[in-house]
Structure 1
Amino acid sequence: MCEINLPSEQMPALLFHNIELLMRMLISENLAFVQHVQKQETSLCLVMTNLTFLFLLFCLFPGRTMFVQTQDTPNPNSMKFLPGRTVLEMGTMNFAGPRDAFCSPLARQLFRIDGVKSVFLGPDFITITKADANMEWKVIKPDVYAAIMDFFASGLPIVNEDSKPSADTAPSDDDDEVVAMIKELLDTRIRPTVQEDGGDVLYRGFEDGIVKLKLQGSCTSCPSSIITLKNGIQNMLQFYVPEVESVEQVKDEEAEEAAQV
């Protein structure tokens, strides 16, 4: 089920009138029902199934054939947006702040939204992290929806041609057997699970039995990131690679500075 609010004071009268007529039709067919009407009838809140909401979007915006879905992450300040289309052909890209987004027209557009702290691009999803923990997602989500739909309709490239997504686990001639095994486990076992939660983990080295990893996306400021790192990633690596003694998180100083801009 999904909820839609219609604040009459914040939209053109004709648009509100058309939405109201369509809503009356949906209510009459028992496809939606009124949850509450605020004082002086300035805002109408209705509840309907996701399928009905999709039908409503197609009726109101026939030129926009895109339906962006959202998925909660373990980090309450991050949300995963799934546009139903390929975002990056390979790898991931993290933008800790507006200063990092020079190579991505999509990220630049998302950073124009008030309250967006960081943007993370995955194979088929976009993770948005909000700056203010007290700001509710319902305040930001409509602007993110609109920005994503408008961007994909524009035909602009998601990232510039000369930009390269992370290739941290790509095989290297310098890799010994242990490092090669660690990279393979990160790619095949660990990374898919982390990306499912809207984040990513990058390989940053192996020295003296310690695997150094960098967390991105929803994992960056997640309260449970240390638990994930130690109980999840470390245990799996130690099970398959006895040479691994510990896993440590490394932070990019430049990314932290960009996040403060």
Structure 2
Amino acid sequence: MFIQTRDTPNPNSLMFYPGVDILPGSTLELTSAAAAHQSPLARALFRVDGVKSVFLASDFVTINKDEAAEWSTLKPNIYATMMDFFASNQPVVLDSYEAPTDTAVSEDDDEIVAMIKELLDSRIRPAVQEDGGDILFQGFVDGIVQLRLSGACTGCPSSIFTLKNGVENMLMHYIPEVEGVEQVFDEELDNVNHDAFKALEDRLGSDKV
């Protein structure tokens, strides 16, 4: 197995591509070994000293490291852990795992929410996932779209700027009922490097819509 890596805008996050399917059509962020009970792969990765969080996506894994840890030390251990794991033929997630449906349009969604989710899925999430993260719909209240960031962009202070200058502008342009966006934080998530999500600004903020 040849595992490739890709940098993210966050120096404390790195994307690993093992060349096999990880979590097709979904994402899953795990921020501690205790929370990783639903993913044997994540449990194995948390045994590597210096791994802070694990983000599983369709064909890659984003690792957030402790600031004091060095990638030069971490990467060989992560490579070995991944190769051993996939050689064992264990499932990436247990059968009890249910993929999140935060951005999937459901029959209960009204027309505005359905349009918001469709735009997130088709235009915004792909750009975020290219940088090793994800953006999930959490609600639409009084004209405000509530969104949660995960992966390489978890807890990133500059994400507020990106949301206001990129995501918000796009949603308001296509959907007049949207008056703004706000970031929803998961209390279990720790903040990571403040540059993590800034790369999305140019991609979305300058989009001529």
TM category (shorter chain) comes to: 0.7 to 0.9
Give how far 1:224 is off: 3.1
2:151 counterpart (211, 214, 217): 217
TM-score scaled to structure 1, two decimals? 0.70
2:25 counterpart (86, 90, 106): 90
Give the whole-Å Cα distance in 2 for the aligned partners of 1:129 and 1:116: 6
Q: Is the 8 A contact 2:154 2:189 kept in 1?
A: no
For 1:142, what is the secondary structure of its paired residue? helix
2:91 counterpart (138, 157, 160): 157
Q: Deviations over 1:111-144 (max 9, x none)?
A: 001011100000000000012x232211111111
Same amino acid, percent of matched pairs: 61
Give how far 1:190 is off: 0.5
Deviation >6 Å, runs of 4+: none
Q: 1:70 aligned to 2:70?
A: no
Give the whole-Å Cα distance in 2 for the aligned partners of 1:224 and 1:134: 21
Instruction: Name which structure has the greater RCO, CA cutoff 8 Å, separation 6+.
Output: 2
Give the whole-Å Cα distance in 1 for the aligned partners of 2:93 and 2:115: 31
1:171 counterpart (90, 105, 110): 105
Give the whole-Å Cα distance in 1 for the aligned partners of 2:77 and 2:38: 21
2:14 counterpart (79, 87, 104): 79
Give the whole-Å Cα distance in 2 for the aligned partners of 1:73 and 1:256: 19
Unaligned runs of 5+ in 1: 1-65
For 1:106, what is the secondary structure of its paired residue? helix
Give the whole-Å Cα distance in 1 for the aligned partners of 2:101 and 2:107: 14
Q: How is 1:7-22 mapped onto 2 (pairs within 5 angstroms)?
A: none
2:39 counterpart (104, 111, 114): 104
Higher helix share: 1
Give the whole-Å Cα distance in 2 for the aligned partners of 1:212 and 1:183: 11
Give how far 1:222 is off: 3.4
Give the whole-Å Cα distance in 1 for the aligned partners of 2:93 and 2:113: 30
User: Which residue number corresponds to residue 207 of structure 1?
Assistant: 141
1:186 counterpart (112, 117, 120): 120
Q: 1:256 aligned to 2:189?
A: yes
Q: 1:227 aligned to 2:161?
A: yes
TM-score scaled to structure 2, two decimals? 0.87
Give the whole-Å Cα distance in 1 for the aligned partners of 2:157 and 2:59: 24
Aligned residues: 191
Give how far 1:223 is off: 4.9
Give the whole-Å Cα distance in 2 for the aligned partners of 1:221 and 1:211: 18
Give how far 1:208 is off: 0.6
User: Which residue number corresponds to residue 58 of structure 2?
Assistant: 123
Q: Deviations over 1:20-62 (max 9, x none)?
A: xxxxxxxxxxxxxxxxxxxxxxxxxxxxxxxxxxxxxxxxxxx
| Higher CA-based Rg | 1
Q: Deviations over 1:83-126 (max 9, x none)?
A: 11110122111101111100100000000010111000000000
Q: Is the 8 A contact 2:155 2:185 kept in 1?
A: no
Give the whole-Å Cα distance in 2 for the aligned partners of 1:225 and 1:113: 28
For 1:97, what is the secondary structure of its paired residue? coil
User: Which residue number corresponds to residue 36 of structure 1?
Assistant: none
Counterpart residue identity of residue 189, structure 1: R
